[in-house]
Amino acid sequence: MEGKTENDISYIIRGAIFKVYNELGPGLLESVYETVLSYELEKEGLTVKRQVILPIFYDDIELDNGYRLDILVNDKVIVEIKSVEKLAKVHHKQVLTYLKLSKLKLGILVNFNEDNITKGIFRKVNGL
């Protein structure tokens, strides 16, 4: 599925999020959602990497203590998973920062701890 655009991938991710949510419901650990969502995305033929290290560059030096992306799909779309009572502004900013640092164009922030998962999915774009 290498020829897929960010929007194509996003559509598949959104469908997988709904499937996982409908099967598991809210309130579980983020690591559980990450594992099951990764499995669903791989079943769809996507390339999935988990806990991808995003290094920090400062003064043109790569520093060891970088960030970790929850899921990177087809090397194009970041999925940041939360399972919290309420998303904070910092969660949205985190995804935008990841996009900026990685030079990727699309991120999806999902909070699985929602009564209605539709209200827990947010697309974040960086020049898309």
Distance CA(4)–CA(33), nearest Å, equals: 24
Does any domain span residue 40?
yes
Task: Answer for the pair 41, 16: CB distance below 8 angstroms, yes or no.
Answer: yes
Residue 18 belongs to domain spanning: 6-125
Does any domain span residue 19?
yes
Does any domain span residue 91?
yes
Total number of domains in the chain: 1
Q: Where are the alpha helices (DSSP H) in the chain?
A: 6-24, 30-43, 89-102
Does any domain span residue 1?
no
What CATH number does residue 22 fall under?
A: 3.40.1350
pLDDT in tens, 34-64: 999 999 999 999 999 999 988 877 888 877 7
Task: Answer for the pair 128, 5: CB distance below 8 angstroms, yes or no.
Answer: no
Does any domain span residue 26?
yes
Does any domain span residue 90?
yes
pTM: 0.91
Distance CA(36)–CA(24), nearest Å, equals: 9
Does any domain span residue 18?
yes
pLDDT in tens, 86-96: 999 999 999 99
Give the pLDDT band (50/70/90) at residue 25: very high
